[in-house]
Amino acid sequence: MFQYAVGRALWLIPTLLAMALVTFLVMHATPGSPLDPVAEGANPLSPEAQRNLAEHYGLDKPVYAQFLIFVGKAVRGDFGNSFVYKTRTVAEILVETFPVSLLLGTMALVLAVLGGLTLGILAAVYQNRTWDYVSVSLATFGVALPNFVLAVFFIILFSFVVPLFPTGGWDSPRNWVLPTVTLALGPLGIIARFTRASMLEVIRADYTLTARSKGLGEAPVIFKHALKNALIPVVTLLGPMFAAVGTGSFFVESIFRVPGMGRFFVLSMTGRDYPMIMAVVLTYGAFLAVMNLVVDLLYGVLDPRIRY
């Protein structure tokens, strides 16, 4: 397993290079420039000032030269200065905002896993009964409603109608509740639906019927025999899901005034902030690759028949 993990980690290098190259080419092929006066986030500049800034940032060089310079600096952790936030480096912004997004995403994923597994197991065990209908309805509700709609609804309900939580901020654990629940409901519904489908298949398997025929109680059959085997399809979802919620959500962070990475990424897109776009994309790609590796290693823990 160690050799497998090392091999997968080494493959991360060409993967990130390919991701950086594609992002770099698409970014430069998009019409406009971060120095263009009509670009959102850029100040109107004279043509001479634009030429001077282009020379300062290296934007006057050929695209291949710009890419090689970027890669050379990125391997040292230097992504340069932000074009939109001119007094700050990209590394400073990431160091400040990524832990906030990661904490919010971690809390949301934990809530989603606990709630999704609970609803999925109840729906499978009580198939076509009340618990099944309640679980499926809640899962559908979480998946169908966009998180920005849920955010506004929760603020109205729990900040104004029943004033239990603040409308936003990140200063205390009370401020974390609403953004965490808002971000968790979508993944919770997905996990619940996959858990239900997987549990229904496992519950009807021969080894589960054999366990029941031996006189085991329903709880040991469900949690010891069925759930462990039903988790493999669910675990597959958790890698990309955690990468998605752990690297920032623009709508949730903006509505609840969370100082995370999501809002910086959207502002960098509108302002054509090349260094910030590249840094965020590579951060997401590295995070996704690591989480997929963790998921692959968990397969062997859940099912000893899987070897690497």
Q: For 79-109, write each residue's pLDDT tens digit.
A: 888 877 777 888 888 888 889 999 999 999 9
Confidence band for 56, pLDDT divided at 50, 70 and 90: confident
Domains in the chain with CATH codes: 2-89 (no CATH), 91-302 (1.10.3720.10)
Sorted by sequence, the CB contacts under 8 Å of residue 169 that are 6+ apart come out as: 175, 256, 257
Question: Pick the residue with more confidence: 161 or 34?
Answer: 161
Nearest alpha carbon to residue 292 among 2, 9, 1: 9
Please report, rounded to a whole number, the percentage of residues in the chain having pLDDT higher than 90: 13
Q: Which residue has the higher pLDDT, 35 or 229?
A: 229
**Separation of alpha carbons 223 and 243, rounded Å:** 28
Residue 180 has pLDDT above 90, yes or no: yes
Question: How far apart, in whole angstroms, are the C-alpha atoms of residue 224 and residue 256?
Answer: 40
Q: Which long-range contacts (CB under 8 A, 24 or more apart) does 221-227 make?
A: 222/121, 222/125, 226/199, 226/202, 227/121, 227/199, 227/202
- 127-166 pLDDT, tens digit each: 888 888 888 888 888 888 888 888 999 999 998 998 899 9
Considering the chain, what is the average pLDDT of its residues?
82
Alpha carbons 244 and 246: distance in angstroms, whole number = 6
Contacts of residue 306, Cβ cutoff 8 Å, sequence gap at least 6: 299, 300
Choose the weakest-confidence range: 10-14, 73-77, 201-205, 207-211. 207-211
How far is CA 146 from its chain centroid?
15
Res 173 pLDDT > 60:
yes
With a CB cutoff of 8 Å and minimum separation 6, the contacts of 97 are 248, 259, 260, 261, 264
The larger pLDDT score, comparing residue 75 to residue 302, is at 75
Quick check: 285 and 16 in contact, CB under 8 A?
yes
Average pLDDT over residues 269-293: 84
Return d(Cα 124, Cα 199) in angstroms, integer: 6
pLDDT at 40 over 60: no
Indicate if the pLDDT at residue 45 is higher than 70.
Answer: no
pLDDT tier at 112, thresholds 50, 70, 90 = very high
What pLDDT, on the 0 to 100 scale, is given for residue 306?
Answer: 67
* Nearest CA among 135, 302, 122, 301 for reference residue 230: 302
CB-based burial label for 252 (10 Å; 0-12, 13-18, 19+): buried
CA 217 – CA 224 distance, rounded (Å): 11
Could you read off the pLDDT of 195-244 as tens digits, one per residue?
A: 888 888 888 777 777 777 777 777 777 777 777 778 888 888 888 888 88
pLDDT attached to residue 63: 84
> Looking at residue 39, what is its pLDDT?
46
Query: What is the spatial distance between Cα 258 and Cα 192, in angstroms, rounded to a whole number?
Result: 27
H-type helices in the chain, by residue range?
A: 2-29, 47-57, 63-74, 90-125, 130-144, 147-155, 173-203, 206-213, 218-220, 227-246, 250-255, 262-270, 274-302
